[in-house]
Amino acid sequence: MKTFFVWVTFFLLYIQYSEQLQNLLNTDLHTCIKCLCHARTGCYRRINCARYSISEAYWRRAGYPTLPGDNPNSSQSYLNCMQDENCILNTIVGYTNAFNNLDCNCDGVYDCRDMLKLHLYGEQCGDKVDDDKVSRFNNCASRNYLASMASNELCQVRAQ
């Protein structure tokens, strides 16, 4: 009986946490994140992006995306997520969406350029993005039909 209870509990946790992740692989968001990770790290592997730019606090702000069966209150869940392509995508989307689609460059459109600034600098959107990151982002963006960015895209953003 005790074994049955353990399996039922595990199954219910699996269902609860497995519904948390969206499949973002091969979507427009996946393409955007590929470019913002390339801008950040110089490579296209999201695992490198995670290693260099997604802290546990970032992951928590993103809403604790977890793999099926993982407990979001566990640091191990963060580590597991950072080894999974789709979980990393969900983390970056969750983090950038946590700021209510903040328009970091004040062009009236929330797009990948805004997500890049949010990913790099959080809700303050930062100042000017350095030229190397802009160049890497624009190289990737041009190959993937995304809007390019100017290094001086600044505006006075008020976080909500």
Q: Per residue in 61-97, pLDDT tens? A: 999 999 999 999 999 999 999 999 999 999 999 999 9
Owning domain of residue 27: 2-100+130-142
Question: Is residue 2 over pLDDT 90?
Answer: no
Contacts of 86 (CB under 8 A, 6+ apart): 21, 23, 24, 25
In a domain? residue 41:
yes
In a domain? residue 147:
no
- What pLDDT is stored for residue 9 in this prediction? 39
pLDDT digits (tens, 9 = 90+) for 100-154: 999 998 899 999 999 999 999 998 887 778 899 999 999 999 999 999 988 777 6
In a domain? residue 105:
no
In a domain? residue 106:
no
- What pLDDT is stored for residue 13 in this prediction? 41
Contacts of 122 (CB under 8 A, 6+ apart): 99
In a domain? residue 159:
no
- What pLDDT is stored for residue 124 in this prediction? 87
In a domain? residue 155:
no
Sign of the CA dihedral 148, 154, 156, 157?
Answer: positive
- What pLDDT is stored for residue 154 in this prediction? 65
CA distance 91 to 97: 10
Task: Please check whether residue 104 is in contact with residue 117, taking contact to mean a CB–CB distance below 8 angstroms.
Answer: yes
- How many domains is the chain partitioned into structurally? 1
Sign of the CA dihedral 33, 39, 40, 43?
Answer: positive
